[in-house]
């Protein structure tokens, strides 16, 4: 119902603001092309690819959760003034599909099928195991696999920037390989450990580096779990010998704190979105989470 209300509001909003930009490219004040993105990880990836060729504008702030976000009139204006809107897709920032944009780029459509994970039995946003997990960016090899499709679309939008996009993507791909090798080494001591996430935001990362998701604190992002669910998860923590419970900066830590305190388990903060000092670039964001996991699970 909430999604229906949001999409209806978007339709009214976009109708009142007029049509989008059609096929015309928009430019920043310094003449660069503008790409609007929904969340910071997408901005971080786009900035690696476009470099100085374009400006990347992110709609959500560092404290915003895409699961609970309500688009504003200013967001619609930003999107309408851009060459393209880049978003993740279903299960995360679906509300972005309602924007009127010159071009929409859904990254999950560019991710090869073999890299996609389906949601676990805990569910996500009200869905079960048949839904694709949208948090692909937490796996550097999934991002690398998505890059060729992204570059192809960007080259269609901006043919003159093709050489820049391809060269930057090649450099970024090498950096992703190096990150992957780094995490294989650093996380080896905790391989096989059970992890109790706040919500299923780092499953791609856990699967890539041999960690297991034992459960989630908040199965429906933005909606606090019931008392019965918390009791059930406390049993899981005890039975599985979970060493740490994780919370996230964008959502209330209250239910995670209850589980951690009542089971005598450590409470740590993982960040799937970043956008703050020390977690600004793509590499910084993933390194932060790898460091937290290593500290919590050793």
Does one domain contain both 153 and 25?
A: yes
- In terms of C-beta density within 10 A (0-12 exposed, 13-18 middle, 19 or more buried), how is residue 129 classed? exposed
Does one domain contain both 197 and 105?
A: no
Are 263 and 238 in contact by the 8 Å Cβ rule? The answer is: yes
Global pTM exceeds 0.75:
yes
How many CB atoms within 10 Å of residue 110? 18
Does one domain contain both 166 and 68?
A: yes
C-alpha torsion sign, points 253, 203, 275, 76: negative
What's the CA gap between 293 and 152, in Å, rounded?
Answer: 35
Are 184 and 235 in contact by the 8 Å Cβ rule? The answer is: no
Task: Tell me the residue range of the domain where 6 lies.
Answer: 2-128+136-181
Domain closes at, from 165, 181, 197: 181
Q: Supply 91's token pair.
A: 């299960």
Close Cβ partners of 156 (under 8 Å, ≥ 6 residues apart): none
Does one domain contain both 110 and 16?
A: yes
- What pLDDT score was predicted for residue 29? 59
Q: How many domains is the chain partitioned into structurally? A: 2
pLDDT values of the chain reduced to their tens digit, one per residue, 298 residues: 444 444 444 443 433 333 232 333 344 556 679 999 999 999 999 999 999 999 999 999 988 999 889 999 999 999 999 999 999 999 999 999 999 999 999 999 999 999 999 986 444 334 445 689 999 999 999 999 999 999 999 999 999 999 999 999 999 999 999 999 999 999 999 999 999 999 899 999 999 999 999 999 988 777 888 999 999 999 999 999 899 999 999 888 899 999 999 999 999 999 999 999 999 999 999 999 999 999 999 8
Domain closes at, from 181, 214, 247: 181
Does one domain contain both 212 and 112?
A: no
Are 246 and 268 in contact by the 8 Å Cβ rule? The answer is: yes
Which three-class secondary structure string do you get for 68-127?
CCCCCHHHHHHHHCCCEEEECCCCCCHHHHHCCCCCEEEHHHHCCHHHCCECCCCCECCE
Quick one: which H or E segment has residue 230? helix 227-240
C-alpha torsion sign, points 130, 133, 134, 136: negative
Which three-class secondary structure string do you get for 191-221?
CCCEEEECCCCCHHHHHHCCCEEEEECCCCC
Does one domain contain both 177 and 196?
A: no
- What pLDDT score was predicted for residue 220? 77
- What pLDDT score was predicted for residue 32? 78
Does one domain contain both 153 and 219?
A: no
Using DSSP's 3-state secondary structure scheme, residue 245 falls into strand
Does one domain contain both 246 and 273?
A: yes
Angle made by CA atoms 268, 39, 136, in degrees to the nearest 5: 70
What's the CA gap between 38 and 71, in Å, rounded?
Answer: 10
Does one domain contain both 43 and 66?
A: yes
- What pLDDT score was predicted for residue 224? 82
Are 20 and 81 in contact by the 8 Å Cβ rule? The answer is: no
Does one domain contain both 71 and 191?
A: no
């Amino acid at each position: 119902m909430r999604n229906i209300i949001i999409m209806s509001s978007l339709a009214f909003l976009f109708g009142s603001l007029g049509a989008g930009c059609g096929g015309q490219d928009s430019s920043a004040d310094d003449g660069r092309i503008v790409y609007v993105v929904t969340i910071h990880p997408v901005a971080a990836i786009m900035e690696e690819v476009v470099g100085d060729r374009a400006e990347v504008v992110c709609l959500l702030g560092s404290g915003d959760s895409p699961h609970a976000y309500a688009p504003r009139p200013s967001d619609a204006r930003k999107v309408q003034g851009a060459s393209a809107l880049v978003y993740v897709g279903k299960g995360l920032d679906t509300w972005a599909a309602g924007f009127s944009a010159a071009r929409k780029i859904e990254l999950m459509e560019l991710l090869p099928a073999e890299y996609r994970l389906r949601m676990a039995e805990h569910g996500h946003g009200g869905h079960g195991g048949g839904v694709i997990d949208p948090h692909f960016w937490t796996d550097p090899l999934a991002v690398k696999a998505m890059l060729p499709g992204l570059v192809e679309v960007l080259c269609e939008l901006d043919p003159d920037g093709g050489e820049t996009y391809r060269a930057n993507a090649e450099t970024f791909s090498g950096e992703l390989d190096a990150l992957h090798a780094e995490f294989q080494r650093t996380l080896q001591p905790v391989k096989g450990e059970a992890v109790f996430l706040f919500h299923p935001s780092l499953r791609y990362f856990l699967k890539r580096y041999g960690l297991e998701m034992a459960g989630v604190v908040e199965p429906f992002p933005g909606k606090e779990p019931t008392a019965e669910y918390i009791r059930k998860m406390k049993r899981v923590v005890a039975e599985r010998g979970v060493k740490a419970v994780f919370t996230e900066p964008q959502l209330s830590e209250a239910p995670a704190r209850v589980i951690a305190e009542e089971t005598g388990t450590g409470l740590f903060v993982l960040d799937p979105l970043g956008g703050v000092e020390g977690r600004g670039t793509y590499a910084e964001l993933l390194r932060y989470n790898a460091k937290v996991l290593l500290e919590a699970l050793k």
